[in-house]
Amino acid sequence: MFQYANPARFMALSGRVLPWLAVAAGLLLAAGLYLGLIASPPDYQQGDTVRIMYVHVPAAWCAMMIYALMALSAAIGLINRHPLADLAAKTAAPLGALFTALALITGSLWGKPMWGAWWVWDGRLTSFLILLFLYLGYIALWNAIEDEVPAARATAVLAIVGAVNLPIIEFSVRWWTTLHQGESIIRAGGPSIAAVFLWPLFLMALGYTLLFFTLWIVRIRTEILARRARSLILAEGGAA
């Protein structure tokens, strides 16, 4: 699998895959939004507020998935020194922060009519807010260190240590008394959500996932091209 850690090979492969990913993400999101916002009925308890779920749940899923991928990439970069690993972690962080912020905002929009409050300091919400701070801290640390090598090492340690927050987010609804609902999709006995709501949610989650990978590849490719441009400028400057 590490053969594609070579930037040239990655650019060649990603250039072929990227258009297909983008089209698939667009189609899935369009279908999910249509089924979720137009075709599906209001919930008997939540009414039309349930439609926030189609944006909130996939965003929360992606926020956690992205951090796990970022921490894994950082660990590979720290241990194996593969060329693209640190770059993959660096470029994933802003996307993860965006999805985390989206999950928090849409969660607050759902919480106000359902709980009567925009925010409560329960285990799930607080640990998710910490996830946002981890993303922002990672990005700030990268920008604070000019030399990319020590920056990659320092941010890798932060990303790996911060990964302990992921199981806390996942199991917080079991460990502590919380207003946030428990698991309703991946659980013993099967999903507790009706199929009319579950299918649009599944399409949106898959669409969000492919959208992330599309944007992630674009960001990695852009960073590789930027580094090549800087190397050429430095080489030309040295030759002059």
**HEC secondary structure over 20-66:** HHHHHHHHHHHHHHHHHHHHCCCECCCEHHHHHHHHHHHHHHHHHHH
Predicted local distance difference test score (pLDDT) of residue 188 = 53
pLDDT confidence bin for 121, thresholds 50/70/90: confident
- CA 52 to chain CA centroid, nearest Å: 18
pLDDT of residue 144 exceeding 90, the answer is yes
pLDDT of residue 85 exceeding 80, the answer is yes
Place of tokens 């990227």: 18
Range ranked top by mean pLDDT from 48-57, 111-120, 208-217: 208-217
pLDDT confidence bin for 232, thresholds 50/70/90: confident
- In this prediction, residues 181-187 reach a mean pLDDT of 60
Residues 6+ positions from 135 with CB-CB distance below 8 Å: 67, 93, 94, 96, 97, 100
Residues 6+ positions from 34 with CB-CB distance below 8 Å: none
pLDDT of residue 4 exceeding 60, the answer is no
Predicted local distance difference test score (pLDDT) of residue 240 = 55
Predicted local distance difference test score (pLDDT) of residue 178 = 65
Predicted local distance difference test score (pLDDT) of residue 38 = 87
Residues 6+ positions from 63 with CB-CB distance below 8 Å: 96, 99, 100, 102, 103, 128, 131
- In this prediction, residues 116-129 reach a mean pLDDT of 83
pLDDT of residue 125 exceeding 70, the answer is yes
- Per the model's pLDDT, the better-predicted residue between 95 and 35 turns out to be 95
What's the CA gap between 240 and 27, in Å, rounded?
51
Predicted local distance difference test score (pLDDT) of residue 194 = 67
Predicted local distance difference test score (pLDDT) of residue 192 = 57
Torsion angle of C-alpha atoms 13, 15, 20, 22, degrees rounded to 10: 130
pLDDT digits (tens, 9 = 90+) for 146-178: 888 889 899 999 999 999 999 998 887 676 666
pLDDT of residue 183 exceeding 90, the answer is no
Contact 72, 171 (CB under 8 A): no
What's the CA gap between 90 and 64, in Å, rounded?
16
Contact 217, 17 (CB under 8 A): yes
- CA 196 to chain CA centroid, nearest Å: 26
Taking every pair of Cα atoms in the chain, the longest distance, rounded to a whole number of angstroms, is 73
